[in-house]
Copies of this chain bind each other. A is one copy, B any other.
Amino acid sequence: MSTRERQVPATGSGRRAELLALAARLFAERGFVVTTVRDIAEAAGILSGSLYHHFDSKESMADEILRGFLDELFGTYADIVKADLGPRRTLEAVVVASFESIHRRPHEVAIYQNEAKHLSQLDRFAYIAERNVEFRDLWKTILAEGVAEGAFRADLDVELVYRFVRDTVWVAVRWYNPDGALSADDVAEQYLGILLDGIATRRRPMKKARPTH
């Protein structure tokens, strides 16, 4: 494979990557359905027909964007698991890595969050459902191991905690500003502070507030 003709990754250089980056921004800001190929072409300073020299279809663009992002993200997760840090520090590392992915690839995360439900119904996007399962297994393993070795409270509903953590981490893409004062690590630290003081072994000693009657 020559240097010129090699497959260019979504984050690489060149015209193709440039167009994908523009499409990703529009898909994230306006939504995949609302964004027209004319919008993407206009953002690139060309006409809609010209886009089809680079891509088969609008779907292909979303496909390439999501594949590249998910491969990268789950590669990072695999590295963390491989490091074998134990439940608590693995949880911290996965949360930090997730917030950092929001920092580095906000558009891709937004597309993953907002469009995956619809796109995954198409055959070509079947890998989205597979990644969701993979992500769920990752989290439930961390939580279950943490409970087993006493790092997390024994009375946790692991399935429910998994959903809370997943949702809270990813939904932050709606308000997180990569150029703002709060860094991804700042947000991750504050988030872990809230989460862990609830999940960690020792129970809160305060009696639960009850209506007086």
- Residues of A at under 8 Å CB distance from B? 30-31, 33-34, 88-89, 92, 114, 118, 157, 160-161, 163-164, 167-168, 171-172, 174-175, 182, 187, 190-191, 193-206, 209
Contact = CB atoms under 8 A, between A and B. Distances in A.
A201 B206 CA distance: 9
Nearest to A117: B174
By secondary structure, the A interface counts as helix
A30 B194 CA distance: 34
As for how many copies of this chain the complex holds, the number is 2
A118 B34 contact: yes
Contacts of A200: 204, 206
Given A31-B118, A175-B163, A202 B199 contact: no
A156 to B, nearest CB: 8
B206 A198 contact: no
Contact of A160 (B88, B190, B198, B203): B190
Most B CB within 10 A of own CB, among A187, A190, A194 = A194
Given A163-B175, A194-B195, A197-B203, 18 more contacts: A30-B118, A31-B33, A31-B118, A34-B118, A160-B187, A161-B194, A164-B168, A164-B194, A167-B167, A167-B171, A168-B171, A195-B198, A196-B204, A197-B197, A197-B199, A197-B204, A200-B206, A202-B206
A154 to B, nearest CB: 13
Nearest to A92: B209
Given A161-B194, A196-B204, A209 B88 contact: yes
Given A89-B209, A206-B200, A209-B88, A163 B172 contact: yes
